[in-house]
Structure 1
Amino acid sequence: MNEDRLQFWSLYATRFAEGFGFITLVTLLPSYINTLDPTGTTILGMTISAGLIVGFYTSGFTLAQTVAIVPLAWAGDRFDKRTVLLAVLAIGIGVYALFPLVDSSASLIAVRALQGVAVTGAGLMTLSLVGEIAAGSTRANHIGKANAASYAASIIGSISAGSLFELFGFGPIFAVIVCLMFVAWLGVFRYLKPDETRIHGFPFSDLALNRRLLTLSSFRFQYAFSVTLVRTWIPIFAGVAAAEGGLAYGGLAVALTVVAEKFTNMCCQPFTGRLSDSYGRAMFVFAGGAAYGFVALLVPFAPTIGAALALPTEIVLVVPSALAGIVLPAWIPLEVIPTQVSMFGEVSPAFLPLVALSGLLGIADSFREPASMALFADEGTDDGGVASSFGIRELVWRPGSVIAPLLGGWLMYEVSMASVFYVGGLFALTGVGTFLVILVWSHGRRALVEW
């Protein structure tokens, strides 16, 4: 195995650990809501509703990410990205060790804020290093593979988080994450070469005026509201009590709704990344964003679709008695072995449509994500400051990721659960519409297929 491949694999392992930790908290968010039972509170004469507190569970994370982006990206370009990555991985190890101590909404918000710093630093540095090491003609493909590693972790993390929580509670889940983060730290320390690129000054100021990045940002700014609302509220929709507009599914069923999107995204991204390397990137951004918006609008109709198709309310695993006779010791009587095992407990007919729609969201986003990341890497590599280019990408995302959870919490409690997905879908569609208009107006009619 050559040195470049070892470097890529150490970065993929870091993406895996980062993704595992991130998705675990997304999957467990309904459990935290049910356990901590957020209620309205008054601070300095101002009333904060339960909906806003639920929103802060995510916004505290994203606000910390926003604050951390510029200093971390600047440090990555000015100094050794490998050293910065090792530092943020060490922070992550400490942060995930603190989660079992959470016992209130305030402590959850605080620890999630620290998690936001660790996740942002790991994401910026790994993607910057992948984009820097990879050749331009293979950049989206390698970024797709890095993202696929993150989504693989998301799948395993979602399933294990739901299962381990129902069996043991919160503690063992975070012990696993701490171990994964430590293994990633060792891999980076051992195999990743020091980064010798040094960018003096403040690359953000030049890249902020880059015409391609400005055009892409017109879409990304709005799309951030869409993805944050939809990704955050699909597991909430699946897991919270029916009285709050949810479907009240158990942890494993909630995990599957999250896994469906991650699995399809993981499978498609290396392939769609390779296609965008060959056929241009803008068209993939436009098509993926539009498809995501249309699918998001369908999510609230999952119960209607399930009822119309008369789908089952319980998913069972059938165990053939002949197979049981082969794999079990002879002294165990077959009659004590159940022939049917419930996999997810009682579910409504909405379950399978919700899983299918989540999978379609993953397919749609797999067209957009590697192409978008490669565009930012292209511009950062050409103009100097690839970490700052990814930093701008993250900054454009932050307003949506900070405000959308607050908006979603308010919509969930004050309007309806369905309204969260309607607003999320519309943000994606207005984003791709704006992107297309600016692309054609500023870069020509063929820009959609030539970028």
Structure 2
Amino acid sequence: MSDPRDSVDKSLGTSGPDRNPFPTRERRTGVSNADSRSQFWALYLTRFAEGFGFITLLTLLPTYINTLDPQATTVLGIGVSAGFIIGMYTTGFTLAQTVAVVPLAWAGDRFDKRRVLLAVLAAGAAVYALFPVVDSSASFVLIRGLQGVAVTGVSLMTLSLVGQVAETGTRADKIGKANAASFSASIVGSLSAGVIYDAVGFGPIFTVITVLMVLAWVVVWGVLDPDPTRTEGFPFTDLAVNRKIVSITAFRAQYAFAVTMVRTWVPIYAGTAMASGGLAVGATAVAVTVTVEKATNMVGQLFTGRLSDGYGRSLFVFAGGGAYGLVAVCIPFAPAIGTAFGADVTLPFLGTLPPAYLPLVAFSGLLGVADSFREPASMALFADEGTDEGGVASSFGIRELVWRPGSVAGPLVAGWLMVEVSMASVFHVGGAFAITGVLAFLAFLIRDHGRAALTTW
């Protein structure tokens, strides 16, 4: 029986075992499996450190809002809307990320990605060391912006290096493991940040993050080989019209709305007052809904990347994205399902729970499972095309840029729907974005590959 990976590799123009991950030089010889594994583990550690810092700040945002008193912010003696200041706590981070994508991706392709990664890790360590001195909303927004640059740089370089070092037939597997490392950091960080803060305050939290970033820097410096690839010019130009990247971005641009709306509104649905359409459960119960989604996504990506390497990445993007949309559309039926099964219970630490809560947790877990099929396959497609064109960092940069409009506008759309229409409409519209996204992706594939649309690449 033939290996299903053969058809995938041939469709990309070369076979996996003979694929040169460093296209501008002959393939290195004498690199042991142990050395290769150590390089991947160095990159996985870096993903963990980056994810831990990101989720810790996200978890502590409400604490910063209470501590910094945004209502008291003034500019030149003129009061500024507290809502605007609170929005800037997140928007400043996102805007800095958006501005940083193109120059960082270009630098990664033009120079040694290892050196760029070391530079952004060092910058990240310095930024996290500055958070304990924050004493105003202005300083917090500024440092959050610098954090956005560091997070973007670390994410782009680690994913680019994982995709570049891995063989074609193993890229989704390695990227899935790198993502699993980031998700594990999200789980540990979100569960521990509040506990550490309540016990010892802000300072020790950022000491832990800074130490993690420094440790990642030391390991990358000591273990990771220099990157010999160099790309002249501006790879974004060619990659922006690459047919495969156009196909996947047709999906990703719409899917960004789906994920941002649904992932953000699951905890809002759980914790919001019943008068606003929510379930009004406590903070710990809300955290469980978030953690379950991350945990199933993390565990799934340990296996789904390898499967998509073998059976076709476009199939996994289509199936995972479509399943995400279907699960999202079903979330508003949680109360009816819970009532039918008598799911109103009282649990230790969580308290008395409404009938809809346990079905909501189950749906949240299914969202993680669905996305675990889509994410490593999607990332591997960008890695494949970027490596073929000599611009893997730029390829991931395009991936980031395509996500930005949906990630910014999605919550605004969801907020309007929640207030003006209903809580259920948020999930119906979010799920619809995922479904229309996979249908657009399928249409592009059928145009290019006909009946073999979902099995060609």
Tell me the TM-score normalised to structure 2 length: 0.83
Contact 2:196–2:205, Cα closer than 8 Å, also in 1: yes
Q: Does 1:59 align with 2:65?
A: no
**Residue deviations 1:248-287 (CA, integer Å, cap 9, x gap):** 5444333222211111111111311111111111110011
The change in CA–CA distance for 1:59 and 1:166 in structure 2 (over 3 A counts) is same
Measure, in 2, the Cα distance between the counterparts of 1:145 and 1:254: 27
Query: Unaligned stretches of 5+ in structure 2?
Result: 1-32
How far 1:305 moved relative to its partner? 3.5
The change in CA–CA distance for 1:106 and 1:405 in structure 2 (over 3 A counts) is farther
Q: In structure 1, which of residues 424, 430, 435 is the aligned counterpart of residue 436 of structure 2? A: 430
Measure, in 2, the Cα distance between the counterparts of 1:268 and 1:450: 23
Partner of 2:455: 449
Alignment RMSD (CA, Å): 3.0
Q: In structure 2, which of residues 351, 355, 361 is the aligned counterpart of residue 355 of structure 1? A: 361
Query: Unaligned stretches of 5+ in structure 1?
Result: 317-342
How far 1:346 moved relative to its partner? 4.7
Q: Does 1:191 align with 2:197?
A: no
Measure, in 1, the Cα distance between the counterparts of 2:147 and 2:313: 31
**Residue deviations 1:34-84 (CA, integer Å, cap 9, x gap):** 76787799999xx99877766544333222211111000000011111111
Contact 1:59–1:403, Cα closer than 8 Å, also in 2: no
Q: In structure 2, which of residues 148, 158, 162 is the aligned counterpart of residue 116 of structure 1? A: 148
Measure, in 1, the Cα distance between the counterparts of 2:107 and 2:293: 33
How far 1:352 moved relative to its partner? 2.2
The change in CA–CA distance for 1:88 and 1:301 in structure 2 (over 3 A counts) is farther
Partner of 1:365: 371
How far 1:142 moved relative to its partner? 0.7
**Residue deviations 1:315-367 (CA, integer Å, cap 9, x gap):** 22xxxxxxxxxxxxxxxxxxxxxxxxxx2345444332222111111100011
How far 1:169 moved relative to its partner? 5.0
Q: Does 1:156 align with 2:162?
A: no
Q: Does 1:178 align with 2:210?
A: yes
Contact 1:162–1:255, Cα closer than 8 Å, also in 2: no
How far 1:22 moved relative to its partner? 2.1
Q: How does 1:325-344 map to 2 (within 5 A)?
A: 343-344=349-350
Measure, in 1, the Cα distance between the counterparts of 2:357 and 2:177: 30
Q: Which amino acid counterpart does residue 266 of structure 2 have in structure 1?
A: I
**Residue deviations 1:282-316 (CA, integer Å, cap 9, x gap):** 11001100111111223344344334433244322
Contact 1:63–1:402, Cα closer than 8 Å, also in 2: no
Partner of 1:322: none
Q: How does 1:88-127 map to 2 (within 5 A)?
A: 88-101=120-133, 108-127=140-159
Partner of 1:74: 106
Contact 1:38–1:53, Cα closer than 8 Å, also in 2: yes
Deviates more, 1:137-146 or 1:16-25: 16-25
The change in CA–CA distance for 1:239 and 1:98 in structure 2 (over 3 A counts) is farther
The change in CA–CA distance for 1:414 and 1:184 in structure 2 (over 3 A counts) is farther
Measure, in 1, the Cα distance between the counterparts of 2:153 and 2:97: 9
Q: In structure 2, which of residues 253, 268, 274 is the aligned counterpart of residue 236 of structure 1? A: 268
Overall identity of the aligned pairs, in %: 68
Partner of 1:392: 398
Q: Which amino acid counterpart does residue 427 of structure 2 have in structure 1?
A: F
Tell me the TM-score normalised to structure 1 length: 0.84
Q: Does 1:295 align with 2:327?
A: yes
Measure, in 1, the Cα distance between the counterparts of 2:381 and 2:71: 43
Measure, in 1, the Cα distance between the counterparts of 2:284 and 2:147: 24
Deviates more, 1:179-188 or 1:296-305: 296-305
Partner of 2:413: 407
The change in CA–CA distance for 1:172 and 1:119 in structure 2 (over 3 A counts) is same
Partner of 1:439: 445
Contact 1:30–1:240, Cα closer than 8 Å, also in 2: no
